[in-house]
Structure formats: C-alpha cells, structure tokens
C-alpha cells in the first residue's frame, strides 16, 4: 500500500504527521510513504531526519499586509497545484492524509480531483484554514477536540486526539532516575516551565522576575527557555547560583521533566496540550496571543471548561503568573483535582486510531 502525507510549516503539523507515518509502518510494515511539504519550511529538514522521503512544493501563504510575495501568490498556487498533480499521479497512493499547512491544501485538492481516498487530521480546537477549505471534499476528518462539528461535517468526524510521544505515560517508575538526571532533590516540589522550542517571551520574562521568589520559598524549577532567549536567561540564572534551578534551551528528555514536575507552566499549542493530558500534571496555561485566530486560547479553554487547567492570559502574566503558581504549589487538593481532570482528556492511542480510520477508508 502507498500513502502520501502532506502538510507542515510548524512543529504542530509536522510531529503528528511523523507519528501517523510511524504508526502506518508499524501496522503495515511494507507500505510506502511519501511526504509532501512546502519548500524552505521546517518539514523539509525534520521529515528526512525521521527516516521518510519528502518532496517540496513552491507554495507560500498570504501575508497579512501588501507585499511582493502576495502578488506572486496566485502563480505559486498554480505551480504548486500542477506539481502536486504530477506527484499524486506518479506515486499512485491508496490514500492521501493532510495535517494542515500550506502544502496540504494543494495536495488534498488534487487527490480529491483524482478520486483518491482522503483523510485530514486537525490538531487544534479551532480548525485551521486549509482543513476547513478541504473538509467538504475529504472522506474522513480526525479531530483532537470535541465539538468540532462547528467547522466540519458531523458525519465525517472521528474524535481520535493528537498523536504524541508514548514515553510519558508511566512517569512514576522513572521519577528517581529523572531527579538524578536534573541533579535535583526528590524531596522538593518542582515547577516545569515550557515555552516551546523557540521560547515564549512573556513566560521567560515572568520567570526572570519571579524565579527567585519560587527558589526562596523552597521550590525547584526546571526551565526550558527556548533557543532565542537562552543566552540572556542563562546569564541571569548564573547570577542566582542556585542548585535548585535547571535551565536549558531545549529539554530532550521530556519524560524525565514531566516525571519531576508537580506543576507545569506552558503555552497552549495543540501538541503541548495533548502531551500535558497524557502526563496528567496540574497545569497553568499561558496561551500565546501571536497565533492565527487566537487558537491557543481556544485550546486552553477546552481544558479550563473541564476544570482541567488554570488559565493565565498573556497580558496578565507579569502580575499573576508567579503568584498563581505558588498558590497552586501550596494547594494539594487543587493539584489532585486538576491532575485527575486533565488525565480524563488524554487520548494515548491517537496514532493507532487515526491509522485505523485510514485503513477503513482504503478498504
């Protein structure tokens, strides 16, 4: 069997796509998989690193202001549709899977025109533009949040969750090992701070101003700054000279980080939220305001409405984030309540369920 997986632009699209491909290989070992992305975007680097072949389209998104790139958009779109047509025609896939992003729209559209079975996966609680545009034409729509019939035809929707890493489900068994890895104490409460791989200015500035208060009150902090802010925050952390603070631009051993955490501070990207549900940790979400349609706030509210997370808005974080973190660290009952509720929203078998749906539409 042959499959095309298309989309990208951000890690939020790419990592679910790779997880789906890996599950396809696990269930159908001799299947062939081809990725189609956008030239110059991060999928062109990340997908080959994961062991899959990828080809790029010259597609670009529309800018919010008048630019030369916008004038070139119709030509890039036609060029991309033509190239996508040839790719699909030559590869002859049994199904085409779209995960959102610029390239996905072109590939999904030509797959529909060629009568090939199609499935899209939507990571967010607010549907992306590409997925909304192709939704009426595709065979199946796998979603990560309930109530998505606001955006998609109800009869096509299957609630599967987001495919995320599998190593964060049994955290208690690696707890001691994790504290040794970070050189922290098992006997102190620990805050895990995440702002994504690039980092979050608001969260980093809040920590810069308030981490000393956390440390003074006897708490430990594991702080992922993101690569943009690392040098500045590291220089600041050196002035504190605290053995209770672990600071890094990016944490690769995320299972260890979750195992140590009593409370997590995080942005509200779709994959982050899905991971946090699986980890089952009391969480304070600080949604980024710099994303399309404010979708991170919508992701966060999906948890807040189930009493499964605490919301701190970006504009209020400098005044309230550290205070609310300390309040939560001191409130064992609230921690337990949030942890129980967030775990109810976890979908640990999302990859398998999505691949089951792909197999169904092909059969």
Q: What is the pLDDT of residue 118?
A: 98
Query: What pLDDT shows up at residue 147?
Result: 87
Residue 321: the pLDDT is 97
User: Same structural domain for residues 209 and 137?
Assistant: no
10 marked as binding residue: yes
The answer on whether 270 is annotated among ligand-binding residues is: yes
Q: Where are the beta strands (DSSP E) in the chain?
A: 2-6, 32-38, 53-57, 95-98, 117-122, 140-143, 157-159, 190-194, 220-224, 245-248, 263-266, 283-285, 310-311
Do 27 and 143 belong to one domain?
Answer: yes
Do 141 and 12 share a domain, yes or no?
yes
Looking at residue 164, what is its pLDDT?
85
The DSSP code for 133 is H
Q: For the segment 111-126, what is each residue's pLDDT rounded down to a tens digit?
A: 999 999 999 999 998 8
To the question of whether residue 124 is assigned a binding role by annotation, the answer is: yes
Same domain, 179 and 109: no
Helix (H, G, I), strand (E, B) or coil at 53: strand
- On whether both 215 and 313 belong to a single domain, the answer is yes
Q: Is 288 annotated as a binding residue?
A: no
Same structural domain, 329 and 222:
yes
Q: State pTM to two decimals.
A: 0.83
Residue 155 is assigned to a ligand binding site = no
209 plus 340 within the same structural domain:
yes
Q: Give me the pLDDT at residue 65, please.
A: 59
Instruction: Consult the annotation and say whether 14 binds a ligand.
Output: no
Q: What is the CATH number of the domain that holds 32?
A: 3.40.50.2000
Query: Does residue 290 share a domain with residue 151?
Result: no
Domain that holds residue 58: 2-164+348-362
* 104 labelled binding-site residue: no
Q: Is 131 one of the annotated binding-site residues?
A: no
Say if residue 11 carries a ligand binding annotation. Answer: yes
The verdict on 28 and 152 lying in the same domain is yes
Total structural domains within the chain:
2
| Same domain, yes or no: 60 and 137 | yes
Does the annotation flag 241 for ligand binding? no
Same domain, 247 and 107: no
- Ranges in the chain, pLDDT < 70: 60-74, 196-199
Query: Are residue 10 and residue 139 in the same domain, yes or no?
Result: yes
195 is in an annotated binding site: no
């Amino acid at each position: 069997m042959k499959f095309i997986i298309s989309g990208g632009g951000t890690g939020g699209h790419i990592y679910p796509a790779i997880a789906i491909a890996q599950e396809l290989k696990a269930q159908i070992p001799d299947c062939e998989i081809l990725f189609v992305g956008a030239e110059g975007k991060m999928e062109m680097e990340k997908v080959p690193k994961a062991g899959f072949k990828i080809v790029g389209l010259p597609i670009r998104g529309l800018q919010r202001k008048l630019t030369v790139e916008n004038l070139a958009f119709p030509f890039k779109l036609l060029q991309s549709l033509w190239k996508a047509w040839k790719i699909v025609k030559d590869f002859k896939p049994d199904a085409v899977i779209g995960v959102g992003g610029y390239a996905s729209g072109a590939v999904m559209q030509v797959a529909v025109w060629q009568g090939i079975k199609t499935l899209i996966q939507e990571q967010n609680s607010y549907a992306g533009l590409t997925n909304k545009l192709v939704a009426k034409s595709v065979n199946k729509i796998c979603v990560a949040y309930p109530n998505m019939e606001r955006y998609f035809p109800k009869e096509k929707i299957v609630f599967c969750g987001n495919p995320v890493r599998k190593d964060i489900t049994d955290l208690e068994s690696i707890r001691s090992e994790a504290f040794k890895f970070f050189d922290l104490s098992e006997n102190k409460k620990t805050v895990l701070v995440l702002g994504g791989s690039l980092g979050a200015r608001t969260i980093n500035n809040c920590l810069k101003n308030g981490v000393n208060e956390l440390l003074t009150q006897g708490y430990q902090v594991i702080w992922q700054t993101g690569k943009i802010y690392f040098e500045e925050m590291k220089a600041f952390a050196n002035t504190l000279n605290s053995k209770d603070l672990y600071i890094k631009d990016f944490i690769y051993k995320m299972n260890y980080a979750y195992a140590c955490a009593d409370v997590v501070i995080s942005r509200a990207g779709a994959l982050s939220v899905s991971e946090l549900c699986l980890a089952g940790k009391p969480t304070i979400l600080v949604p980024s305001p710099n994303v399309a349609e404010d979708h991170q706030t919508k992701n966060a509210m999906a948890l807040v409405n189930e009493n499964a997370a605490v919301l701190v808005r970006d504009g209020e974080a400098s005044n309230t984030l550290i205070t609310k973190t300390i309040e939560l660290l001191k409130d064992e009952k609230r921690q337990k309540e949030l942890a129980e509720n967030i775990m109810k929203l976890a979908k640990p078998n999302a990859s398998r369920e999505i691949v089951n749906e792909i197999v169904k539409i092909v059969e």
